[in-house]
Structure 1
Amino acid sequence: MTADTAPKHEQTDKRNNKAKLGIVGFDDVLGGGLARERLYLLEGTPGTGKTTIAMQFLLEGARRGERGLYISLSETEAELRGSAASHGWTIGPEIDVFELIPPESLLDAEQQQSLLYSSDLELGETTRAIFERIEAVRPALVVLDSLSEIRLLAGSSLRYRRQLLALKHYFARQGATVLLLDDLTADALDKSVHSIAHAVFRLEELAPDYGAERRRLRVVKYRGQRFRGGYHDFNVATGGVQVFPRLIALEHKSAFKRDRLRSGVDELDALLGGGIDAGSSTLILGPAGTGKSLLAVQYVVAAIARGERAAMFIFDEELGLLLARTRTMGFDLAGLRDSGHLTIDQVDAAELSPGEFAHLVRSQVDEAQVKTVVIDSLNGYQASMPDQSALILHIHELIQYLNRQGVATFLTVAQHGLVGDMRSPIDVTYLADTVVLLRYFEALGTVRRAISVVKKRTGAHEDTIREYSITGTGLRVGEPLRSFQGVLRGVPTLVRGGDAELLDSGDL
Structure 2
Amino acid sequence: MSTSNELISAKAATGIEGLDDILSGGLSRSHVFLLEGEPGTGKTTVALQFLLAGAQAGERSLYITLSETERELRQGAASHGWTIDENVHIFELTPPESLLNAEHQQSLLYSSDLELGEATRQIFEVVERVKPSRVVLDSLSEIRLLAQSSLRYRRQILAIKHYFVRYDATVLLLDDLTTESLDKTVHSVAHGVIRLEELTPTYGAERRRIRIVKYRGQKYRGGFHDFTIMGDGVHVFPRLVAAEHRGTYQRLQLSSGIAEMDALLGGGIETGSSTLILGPAGTGKSLIALIFAAAAVQRGEKAALFIFDEELGLLFERMRNLGIDLQALQDTGNLLIEQVDAAELSPGEFSHRVRRCVDAGDIKTVVIDSINGYQAAMPEENALVLHMHELLLYLNRKGAATFMTVAQHGLVGDMQAPVDITYLADTVILLRYFEALGKVRRAISIIKKRTGTHESTIREYRISSRGMTIGEPLEAFQGVLRGVPTYMGADNPLLKDESQ
TM-score range for the pair, normalised by the shorter chain length? over 0.9
CA displacement at 1:237 relative to structure 2: 0.9
Instruction: Output the CA distance in 1 between the equivalents of 2:483 and 2:382.
Output: 33
Q: Which runs of 5+ in 2 are unaligned?
A: 102-110
* Cα pair distance change 1:507/1:417, threshold 3 Å: farther
Is 1:504 the counterpart of 2:496? The answer is yes
Partner AA of 1:323 in structure 2: F
Tell me the CA shift for residue 121 of structure 1. Answer: 5.9
Which among 378, 382, 387 is matched to residue 385 of structure 1? Answer: 378
Contact 2:381 2:419 (C-alpha < 8 Å) held by counterparts: no
Separation in 2, partners of 1:119, 1:153: 5
Residue of structure 2 in register with 1:272 after alignment? 265
Following superposition of structure 1 onto structure 2, how do residues 167-316 of structure 1 map, counting pairs within 5 Å? Answer: 167-316=160-309
Alpha-carbon distance between aligned partners in 2 of 1:128 and 1:335, rounded to the nearest angstrom? 68
Q: Which residue among 9, 17, 20 is the counterpart of 1:24?
A: 17
Q: Contact 2:157–2:186 at 8 Å: present in 1 too?
A: yes
Q: Is structure 2 residue 475 aligned with structure 1 residue 477?
A: no
| C-alpha displacement of 1:389 | 3.9
Structure 1 letter corresponding to 2:287 = L
**2:60 and 2:131 in contact (8 A); partners too:** yes
Is the Cα contact below 8 Å between 2:322 and 2:467 reproduced in 1?
Answer: yes
1:143 maps to amino acid: V
Any residues of structure 2 matched to 1:322-341 within 5 Å, and which?
A: 322-341=315-334
Displacement, 1:80? 0.2
Q: Which residue in the other structure is 1:464 paired with?
A: 457
CA-to-aligned-CA distance 1:435-484 (integer Å, 9 cap, x gap): 00000011111111100000000000000000111121211111101111
The residue aligned with 1:435 is: 428
Aligned counterpart, 2:347: 354
- Aligned partners of 1:415 and 1:422 also within 8 Å: yes
Determine if contact 1:399/1:409 at 8 Å carries over to the other structure: yes
Q: What runs of 5+ residues in structure 1 fail to find an aligned partner?
A: 109-117
Q: Is 1:131 the equivalent of 2:124?
A: yes
1:423 is the counterpart of 2:420: no
- 2-structure distance, mates of 1:132, 1:237: 35
Residue of 29, 39, 60 corresponding to 1:36: 29
Letter in 2 for 1:364: C
1:14 shift after superposition = 3.7
* Length-normalised TM-score, structure 1: 0.95
Shift of 1:317: 1.1
Alpha carbons 2:367, 2:402 under 8 Å: kept: yes
> Secondary structure, in 3 states, of the residue corresponding to 2:12?
coil
- Per-residue CA distance 1:113-142 (angstroms, 9 max, x = gap): xxxxx8696111100100000000000000
Q: Distance in 2 between matches of 1:105 and 1:159?
A: 23
The answer (yes or no) to whether the contact 2:116–2:143 under 8 Å persists in 1 is yes
What is the deviation of 1:422? 1.1
The letter for the 2-side match of 1:194 is: H
CA-based RMSD of the aligned residues comes to 1.6
Runs of 4 or more, structure 1, over 6 Å off, are: 105-108
Deviation at 1:498, TM superposition (A): 2.5
Using the aligned pairs only, state the percent identity: 67
Q: Is the 8 A contact 2:113 2:146 kept in 1?
A: no
CA separation in 2, counterparts of 1:268 and 1:105?
85
TM-score by length of 2: 0.96
Question: How far did residue 339 of structure 1 move?
Answer: 2.6
Deviates more, 1:348-357 or 1:96-105: 96-105
Query: Deviation string for 1:152-207 (max 9, x for gaps)?
Result: 00000110001101111111111100000000001111111000000000000000
2:393 paired with 1:400: yes
Say which SS state the counterpart of residue 122 (structure 1) adopts: helix
CA distance in 2, matches of 1:287, 1:329: 19
Are the counterparts in 2 of residues 103 and 121 from structure 1 also a CA contact under 8 Å? no
Instruction: Give the conservation status (yes or no) of the 8 Å contact 2:321–2:465.
Output: yes
Match for residue 76 of structure 1? Answer: 69
1:97-176 maps to which residues of 2 (within 5 A)? 97-104=90-97, 122-176=115-169
